[in-house]
Structure 1
């Protein structure tokens, strides 16, 4: 449980948008476009931005919703790389000589990730190629090179599990939520704030420990934590999943942002 001012509450209850991004297809650029222009589209196999907390952008707050406006065929593959192979195939290509779709497919794998060096492939990722990108590729549908040279080092790569996939065109639309942090915090308090009172001694111990850091329930027989959890779950959370939730609560005169994790308790209830 963290005590929060209005500004801190607005920060807890929102998602940030990256200020800059050179890649025109990235999620952050799409989010900025939807907020600044009212809507934006992006192509992906699954919704790249799920519903949830509003996005903060230039001091204001916005919700995003999406709809599917189109579909087309594409090719999905898995790409794996070996960072410490003792025998690198001679059929190599420099990273800079790869077509743009292939460089993008390897962007999550290069530069090498520290701590990923094991026997065999160290890291893998999925990639999606439209028909136009596959025509330019030297890796899909046929892998023409077995290793890539990056910063003077050669790394074996493997492209497999080629499959047909569907690319959806998602249209994201933004809706203003609040003009500034103060008004957003006021709205959050009006909708979600509740007062935690009437605790017995064991329940107060749980909450007091949480306000001084965190409280950990050792097992699902912790009746005091269960009782506190049920008090919270009786109120509307700011965000809530099957095993986790965030609430806005007043306790001993202060307003707190409270994060509760209750996986074992949810399964046992």
Structure 2
């Protein structure tokens, strides 16, 4: 269903995993999608090719987050590509998905450099990307920030990472209140453990996998498409009255014991 025909979307960290699934879903729904990547241009171009083979429209745009000029570099790429296609830069949808950190960030082992890096990529970059995007986003725009179920679960080894996602939750709620008068919605999606190709350590251990699946009410590990479908709803007109919301997309992770 081409519910996003005529819309332009930017998905950060879209060369693989959840971002890739989101880019593919939004393109399938009719949007022209900017597939952002930080370093793996080949993976981003493969994503674009797959979208085009399926009848969608997309282009790759590269920018390493967490370094000086990261947002300027990204917007230069957007201007170059969108200028050719539409004659101007206009964003209807922004999905802030790119992040680093994951299983790192314990209080006793994290260095100052590691701490600064994870906040630069996970918090500073989306903050200033939104700042830059708002002037070219019209009424009815959609911003979706990808957080994590880690913000409600105490995981000592992921402390710094979880702190960045807590900041994202606050960013979304406060921003939603500020830009609602423009008809722009801002929402947050918090995935749980998702098979993005980075959890081989879990999938290869039958006992760990069984324990992880049992911890989720829906009794399985999430898939990137599970998250992409949630984002697709939030950026559609069906979600026009939903803003400032944190949507838990963990499959019911750690809700409590099942009797």
Query: TM-score scaled by structure 1?
Result: 0.20
Task: Name the one with the larger helix percent.
Answer: 2
Q: Highest Rg: 1 or 2?
A: 1
Task: Name the one with the larger strand percent.
Answer: 1
